[in-house]
Amino acid sequence: MNPTSRADFIDIHTHYAKPASGVFTVESLLAHENRLPGPVEGIAYTAGIHPWYLNNMNKAEQLDYVRKLADDPNIIAIGEAGFDRLRGPDIELQRQVFEEQVTIADRFQKPVVIHCVRSWDELLSAHKKLKPGKPWLVHGFRGKKDLARQLLARGMYLSFWFDFVIRPESAELLPALPMDRIFLETDGADIDIRDIYRKVAKDLNIEVDELKDILFKNFNTLFCDQNHPVTPAA
């Protein structure tokens, strides 16, 4: 399922989405919740294992959940998946399960939506090791310019944390990044994606409609265009 037109606002990552006129939403289904995607107008889904809810007892069951949903046409990506040093099991278990999810994603030629907290070395090392066939999308990004450029150099896309982009300091980072690699999200917060678009458009010194066009194109490049992969750094 894709945005119906360039007129749509795209919320690239959220939870428990509800249909909204003029908004295309990508809802994150987490394996421990065991929820299933449905054909809902204006909503697509990702499915993955969040490191917060992973342990040795449930890893096999959660991986089975991802495998079963991976080829569902309503599932456009695997994730959110990744690494978290503040919450979750030991980092080695996180690494094993993350690599399994990347393997699943590559089998079905789908991107991976990344959750990463204070584990950027692990993420970059995993990308270098696994050489994924589709780009990864880092959700909730709120890091510095140097980190953003490292991730971009490996062919990744960045979706900015909703609270970060409404702060004044985001106005310095966003114009320094390529607009063809960005997305915006609410992450399930009580905030309107339209307001996020307006703030970011102002920071980029462009009109909201132009930003819509950019993110619409980014969506189609990442999720729909198999002929134009992003080539990561070696």
Q: What CATH number did the domain enclosing 120 receive?
A: 3.20.20.140
pLDDT for res 209: 96
> What residues make up the domain containing 187?
9-224
The Cα 204–Cα 221 span in angstroms is 21
Rounded average pLDDT over 43-60: 97
Q: Is residue 67 part of a domain?
A: yes
Lowest mean pLDDT among 16-30, 36-50, 80-94, 159-173: 159-173
Q: What percent of the chain has pLDDT over 70?
A: 94
pLDDT for res 6: 75
pLDDT tens digit sequence for 52-89: 999 999 999 999 999 999 999 999 999 999 999 999 89
pLDDT tens digit sequence for 118-170: 999 999 999 999 999 999 999 999 999 999 999 999 999 999 999 999 888 88
Q: Is residue 230 part of a domain?
A: no
pTM of structure: 0.92
Q: Is residue 130 part of a domain?
A: yes
Q: Is residue 179 part of a domain?
A: yes
* Contacts of residue 209, Cβ cutoff 8 Å, sequence gap at least 6: none
Q: What's the domain count of the chain?
A: 1
Q: What percent of the chain has pLDDT over 90?
A: 85
Q: Is residue 219 part of a domain?
A: yes
Burial of residue 167 (number of CB atoms within 10 Å: 0-12, 13-18, 19+): exposed
Q: Is residue 1 part of a domain?
A: no
Q: Is residue 75 part of a domain?
A: yes
